[in-house]
Structure 1
Amino acid sequence: MGRKSYAGRLPAVVAGTALLLAAACGSPDTAGSGGDGATSTESIKVGLVYSKSGPLASYGKQYLEGFQAGLTYATQGSKKVGDQAIEVTEVDDAGDPAKAVSAAKDLIGKGYKIIAGSTSSGVATQVAPITEQNKVLFISGPAATDAVTGIGDHTFRSGRQTSQDISTAAAFIGDVQGKKIVVFGQDSAFGQANVAGVQAVLGAKGATVEPLLVPASATDFTPFATQAKEAKPDLLFVAWAGTTAQAMWTALGQQGVFDATKVVTGLDIAATWPTYGPVADKVNFLSHYFAGAAGTDVEKAMTEEVTKAGGTVDLFTGDGFTAAQMIVHAAEQGSDPDKMAQALAGWSFEGVKGKLTIRAEDHALLQPMFQAKLTGGAAPTAELVQKLEPDAVAPPVTQK
């Protein structure tokens, strides 16, 4: 998935669509004529397969609002490339890979040459092979799994990936050679994946990585918080999902873990920030993005457009905006997906977070990352601690 919330997740109601977006909760039926792609008299058809509903609906809402703003920005308000209108069809996958695959096949069958979205990592890794087989351009969204990078010639991403998160976390302690890092999370696929990710990225740089995984059924976190303190790590990397987050953070605070080591976790959507309670200002946050983090002209343009449309800028708004920039650039090359992909590979452009580069070798999106802190008590706000340049957090090259 995009990244399971390190501090729990709150549901959100998805806003209505606007302009050229045609809402769909099943198979799209608003597409233009099929065929080999857009001609001078056809629209440029884009399929957005994303989480309009389901557990990641709040992420999907942010992505959609950003996409709409990005489409306006990248086309200077025309919603066209040349004389061709960009026709966007939404399909709600509800975070279900089977629904997403079915939607992607349907769209491809109707002649769509561009598919975007993928709020969930499980969705992205299932949709990408379908688009690759059909030589259709695929731009994954908030899905963070490293597996999307390097998957094929036609697959790209508009967000960050897990290894960039982990490198940002490691930057809190500098050189990790010889350092001890404990991954504190639930004994679940999510927790185990974080252990594997930290081991792959930081273990390769000389760190000793140890898991401290808590049974998913646990409600008393005091014993585990005590273990975390007694482990005496140089860095405690917390990867947590679900409704027990507040009790977990309280236990870490009560057992003095924050006084014993540096605690780092990912900064999730703004609605989750109160979850940290009294320890909010003691946690070190790696951040993909939060409103106001970048301070760029593009960010200002996005914020103005999203706000004007009644939305709110948050964690994944920029992913949608970036996807729109990429799609417009690709569509300027014509309707041939091979040419669109060639145009994107190696492309550098000014995005919401600053300069973004699509690495030619594997299509990783090289981008700045952020370190942040929360202040303000019961209604915390995020403040930038440090911006990390793209090279400092670049993932290892993946061979396609």
Structure 2
Amino acid sequence: MTSRSDTATRPAARAATRSVRIRRQLAALAACGLLAVGCSKAGTAGTASGGSGSGAQAPVKVGLVYSKTGPLAAYGKQYIEGFRAGLDYATKGTGKAGGHRIELTVEDDAGDPAKAVSEAKDLIGKGCTILAGSTSSGVALQVAPVAAQNKVLFISGPAAADKITGLNKYTFRSGRQSYQDILTAASLIGKDAHGSKVTVLAQDSAFGQANVAAVKAVLGKQGATVKAVLAPPSATDLTPFAKQAKSSDPDLLFVAWAGETASALWTSLTQQDVFSSTKVVTGLDLAASYPLFGPAATKISFLSHYFDGAAGTDVERAMADAVTKAGGTPDIFTPDGFTAAQMIVHAVQGAEGSATDTSALAAALEGWSFDGVKGRLTVRAEDHALLQPMFQVKLTGAPSAPKPSVVRTLPADQVAPPVTPMAG
């Protein structure tokens, strides 16, 4: 039997219990307020959707795989110098985009596709949602499918192979492609190519084969007969290939060459007196190669992706100032790195908080037009080609130190490659 006094004390005991519980809840809420980022809605910790938590400021991990060493190391040096200058320019010196710090990891592929693929997979495993680089076309064509399989944004650099365009929805490019080179070369012919004989002298590589295909697609369709002379990339004695090029007796010899054997090639062509019998068109390479043309320099018609001072834009001056201040010298592929950084920063900003959502990153780039080093650039939405101006150039001055100058700037629409259906 319960006493009257016990009955009277129960409400007081219950009230005390409620008071303790309320105090504990208030203490927990206070702790949550003080810790802020540690208290989030269920299922949203570490994500941008969790409010102002840590996910909103998480770094964006970018992996850059390029040729620091190997046969294309000179190009790689230009690319990385341009990238660092572009990142500083696009982020206004903060190293951040959309509130996210850009966390960069750099790897050397040495121009080896297998090594590049291994490094790309390792970077993806470490949380990189964006990959950039690819000095070599062979590398880019192997890395791009890996990026697509892992749903990672990939921005290829100087690699010029046309097959990179439209390869998959995650792959973009920050440089030009072979088709744009060939359209520039076609503008140098000065007449319809119908009935002309054209020989392509190139290395038997992804880059060389892409040039052969592009020449056939452009000049072949105009009625020219196109032949190819392809040399193994490892070849050092290039006289046999210079002889083959001359014996084909072309009206136009288009030379597509890259790497350390350029000097040997131009020496061989001079020795075979090719310049006296045919019109020679080639792409202007890095500045160190200009003296390699020797006395033949004034006899060659050059197409140019870029040389220091070619564009005369405000962005070019900003790039040149930054690269020079850092101890470098702007050159043919410096804009490719600079542009890649601009694209990455814009993608992160345009994704509007979804910095790890690669579909959102890609969507932010598609159709984007912006002021780049070379002028107005556009990422074509249909296949991710980078539409850009190109240049006709001549070399003048002493053969030991010739200087480039722009003969004509071709607007982006005049050298735009045909749209490639998106493959994947």
- Report the TM-score when normalising by structure 1: 0.84
Higher helix share: 2
Note if contact 1:250-1:279 (Cα within 8 Å) is conserved in structure 2.
no
Note if contact 1:135-1:337 (Cα within 8 Å) is conserved in structure 2.
yes
Q: Report the 3-state secondary structure (helix = DSSP H, G, I; strand = E; otherwise coil) of the residue aligned with 1:349.
A: strand
AA in 2 matched with 1:46: V
Query: Displacement of 1:258 after TM fit?
Result: 2.6
- Cα distance in structure 2, aligned partners of 1:320 and 1:311: 13
2:60 is aligned with 1:39: no
Q: Report the 3-state secondary structure (helix = DSSP H, G, I; strand = E; otherwise coil) of the residue aligned with 2:55.
A: coil
Q: Report the 3-state secondary structure (helix = DSSP H, G, I; strand = E; otherwise coil) of the residue aligned with 2:111.
A: coil
- Cα distance in structure 2, aligned partners of 1:36 and 1:201: 49
Query: Displacement of 1:210 after TM fit?
Result: 2.0
Note if contact 1:163-1:197 (Cα within 8 Å) is conserved in structure 2.
yes
Counterpart of 1:56 in structure 2 is: 72
2:339 aligned to 299, 307, 322, which one?
322
Counterparts of residues 157-196 of structure 1 (less than 5 Å): 157-174=173-190, 175-185=192-202, 191-196=208-213
- Cα distance in structure 1, aligned partners of 2:303 and 2:335: 16
Structure 1 residues 43 and 179: alpha-carbon distance in aligned structure 2, compared to 1, 3 A threshold = same
Counterpart of 1:4 in structure 2 is: none
Comparing 338-347 with 233-242, greater Cα deviation is found at 233-242
AA in 2 matched with 1:90: V
Note if contact 1:52-1:93 (Cα within 8 Å) is conserved in structure 2.
yes
Counterpart of 2:157 in structure 1 is: 141
Q: Report the 3-state secondary structure (helix = DSSP H, G, I; strand = E; otherwise coil) of the residue aligned with 2:221.
A: helix
Counterparts of residues 55-134 of structure 1 (less than 5 Å): 55-134=71-150
- Cα distance in structure 1, aligned partners of 2:172 and 2:209: 26
Counterpart of 2:255 in structure 1 is: 238
Aligned residues: 365
Counterpart of 1:339 in structure 2 is: 360
Give aligned-pair identity as a percent: 67
Note if contact 2:148-2:170 (Cα within 8 Å) is conserved in structure 1.
yes
- Cα distance in structure 2, aligned partners of 1:330 and 1:217: 41
- Cα distance in structure 2, aligned partners of 1:283 and 1:55: 25
2:279 aligned to 251, 262, 267, which one?
262
- Cα distance in structure 2, aligned partners of 1:101 and 1:247: 31
Q: Report the 3-state secondary structure (helix = DSSP H, G, I; strand = E; otherwise coil) of the residue aligned with 1:311.
A: coil
AA in 2 matched with 1:39: G
Q: Report the 3-state secondary structure (helix = DSSP H, G, I; strand = E; otherwise coil) of the residue aligned with 1:320.
A: helix
2:412 is aligned with 1:390: yes
- Cα distance in structure 1, aligned partners of 2:285 and 2:160: 13
Q: Report the 3-state secondary structure (helix = DSSP H, G, I; strand = E; otherwise coil) of the residue aligned with 1:398.
A: coil
Q: Report the 3-state secondary structure (helix = DSSP H, G, I; strand = E; otherwise coil) of the residue aligned with 1:323.
A: helix
2:421 is aligned with 1:399: yes
- Cα distance in structure 2, aligned partners of 1:47 and 1:71: 14
User: 1:62-91: per-residue Cα shift (whole Å, max 9, x none)?
Assistant: 111101111111111111123321111111
Comparing 226-235 with 318-327, greater Cα deviation is found at 226-235
Query: Displacement of 1:231 after TM fit?
Result: 4.6
Counterpart of 1:210 in structure 2 is: 227
User: 1:282-328: per-residue Cα shift (whole Å, max 9, x none)?
Assistant: 11111111100111111001001111111110011000000010000
Comparing 152-161 with 191-200, greater Cα deviation is found at 191-200
Structure 1 residues 326 and 244: alpha-carbon distance in aligned structure 2, compared to 1, 3 A threshold = closer
Counterpart of 2:37 in structure 1 is: none
Structure 1 residues 280 and 70: alpha-carbon distance in aligned structure 2, compared to 1, 3 A threshold = same
Runs of 5+ consecutive residues of structure 2 not aligned to the other structure: 1-45, 49-53
Structure 1 residues 112 and 230: alpha-carbon distance in aligned structure 2, compared to 1, 3 A threshold = closer
Q: RMSD of the alignment, in Å? A: 2.4
- Cα distance in structure 2, aligned partners of 1:220 and 1:42: 53
Note if contact 2:137-2:207 (Cα within 8 Å) is conserved in structure 1.
no
Note if contact 1:246-1:277 (Cα within 8 Å) is conserved in structure 2.
no
2:394 is aligned with 1:373: yes
- Cα distance in structure 2, aligned partners of 1:153 and 1:220: 40
Query: Displacement of 1:256 after TM fit?
Result: 4.6
Query: Displacement of 1:242 after TM fit?
Result: 5.9
Structure 1 residues 231 and 326: alpha-carbon distance in aligned structure 2, compared to 1, 3 A threshold = same
Structure 1 residues 156 and 36: alpha-carbon distance in aligned structure 2, compared to 1, 3 A threshold = farther
Counterpart of 1:355 in structure 2 is: 376
Q: Report the 3-state secondary structure (helix = DSSP H, G, I; strand = E; otherwise coil) of the residue aligned with 1:371.
A: strand
When Rg is computed on C-alpha atoms for both structures, the one with the higher figure is 2
Select the structure with the greater relative contact order (CA < 8 A; seq sep ≥ 6). 1
- Cα distance in structure 1, aligned partners of 2:205 and 2:324: 38
Note if contact 2:160-2:207 (Cα within 8 Å) is conserved in structure 1.
no
